[in-house]
Amino acid sequence: MYSRRKFLTQTCGGVGGLALTQLLNTDGLLAAASAGGMGGTHHKAKAKNIIYIYLEGGPSQMDLYDPKPMLNRLDGQALPESMLKNMRFAFLSKESARIMGTPRTFKPHGQCGMELSDLIPHIGSIADDICLVRSMHTDQFNHVPGQLLMNTGSAISGRPSIGSWLSYGLGSASKNLPEFVVLITVGRGVPGGSASWSSGFLPSKYSGVMFRNDGAPVLNLENPARINAAMQKRTIEGVAQMNALRNAEVRDPEIESRIAAYELAFRMQTAGPELMDLSGESKETLDMYGVNRQEPKIEGGSLGGVGLFGTFARNCLMSRRLIERGVRVVQVIHASWDHHSRINTELPHNCALVDQPIAALVKDLKQRGLLEDTLVVCGSEFGRTALGENRPGNRSVTGRDHHPNAFSIWLAGGGIKGGQVIGETDDIAWNVTKDPVHVHDLHATLLHLFGFDHTRLTYRFQGRDFRLTDVHGHVVKKMLA
For other proteins, which residue of 15, 32, 261, 306 counts as binding (CB under 8 A)? 261
Told to check if 474 binds other proteins by CB under 8 A, we report: no
Q: Is there a contact between 267 and 176 (Cβ–Cβ < 8 Å)? A: yes
For other proteins, which residue of 25, 80, 105, 224 counts as binding (CB under 8 A)? 224
* Contacts to other proteins from residues 322-341, by CB under 8 A: none
Q: Is there a contact between 118 and 351 (Cβ–Cβ < 8 Å)? A: no
Rounded to a whole number of angstroms, the minimum distance from the CB of residue 313 to other proteins is 18
CA angle 142, 187, 222 (to 5 degrees): 120
Of 395, 469, 396, the C-alpha closest to 438 is: 469
For other proteins, which residue of 59, 153, 192, 473 counts as binding (CB under 8 A)? 192
* Contacts to other proteins from residues 172-191, by CB under 8 A: 178, 184, 186, 188-191
Q: Which residues of 57-81 are buried (b: 16+ CB within 10 A; e: fewer)?
A: bbbbbbbbbbbbebbeebeeeebee
Told to check if 258 binds other proteins by CB under 8 A, we report: yes
Q: Is there a contact between 377 and 409 (Cβ–Cβ < 8 Å)? A: yes
C-alpha to C-alpha distances, 59 to 52, 84, 126, 379, nearest whole angstrom: 16, 21, 19, 9
CA 258/CA 239 separation, integer angstroms: 10
Rounded to a whole number of angstroms, the minimum distance from the CB of residue 171 to other proteins is 10
For other proteins, which residue of 26, 41, 72, 232 counts as binding (CB under 8 A)? 232
Q: Which stretch binds other proteins (CB under 8 A): 18-26, 130-138, 249-257, 425-433?
A: 249-257
Q: Which stretch binds other proteins (CB under 8 A): 35-43, 97-105, 303-311, 347-355?
A: 35-43
Of 343, 420, 355, 423, the C-alpha closest to 384 is: 343
For other proteins, which residue of 58, 145, 399, 404 counts as binding (CB under 8 A)? 145
Q: Which stretch binds other proteins (CB under 8 A): 113-121, 135-143, 348-356, 472-480?
A: 135-143
* Contacts to other proteins from residues 343-402, by CB under 8 A: 392-393, 402
Rounded to a whole number of angstroms, the minimum distance from the CB of residue 93 to other proteins is 10
Size of the site for other proteins (CB under 8 A): 87
With a CB cutoff of 8 Å and minimum separation 6, the contacts of 230 are none
Rounded to a whole number of angstroms, the minimum distance from the CB of residue 129 to other proteins is 30
* Contacts to other proteins from residues 41-100, by CB under 8 A: 88-91
For other proteins, which residue of 38, 83, 278, 480 counts as binding (CB under 8 A)? 38
The residue (of 49 and 147) whose beta carbon lies closer to other proteins is 147
Q: Which stretch binds other proteins (CB under 8 A): 64-72, 150-158, 293-301, 322-330?
A: 150-158
What number of other Cβ atoms are within 10 A of residue 104's Cβ?
Answer: 22
Told to check if 27 binds other proteins by CB under 8 A, we report: no
Of 50, 48, 55, the C-alpha closest to 378 is: 55
Give, for 342, the enclosing helix (H) or strand (E): none
* Contacts to other proteins from residues 193-222, by CB under 8 A: 193-195, 198-205, 207, 209-210, 212, 218-222
Told to check if 3 binds other proteins by CB under 8 A, we report: no
Told to check if 121 binds other proteins by CB under 8 A, we report: no
| Contacts with other proteins, 416-455, as mask; x by CB under 8 A | ----------------------------------------
Q: Which stretch binds other proteins (CB under 8 A): 34-42, 121-129, 362-370, 409-417?
A: 34-42
Number of residues in the chain: 481
CA 114/CA 243 separation, integer angstroms: 60
* DSSP at 139: S
Give, for 130, the enclosing helix (H) or strand (E): strand 130-137
Told to check if 273 binds other proteins by CB under 8 A, we report: no
CA 241/CA 259 separation, integer angstroms: 9
3-class secondary structure, 244: helix
With a CB cutoff of 8 Å and minimum separation 6, the contacts of 91 are 340, 389, 391, 401, 402
Q: Which stretch binds other proteins (CB under 8 A): 46-54, 260-268, 300-308, 472-480?
A: 260-268
With a CB cutoff of 8 Å and minimum separation 6, the contacts of 423 are 133, 134, 135, 136, 432, 434, 435, 436, 437
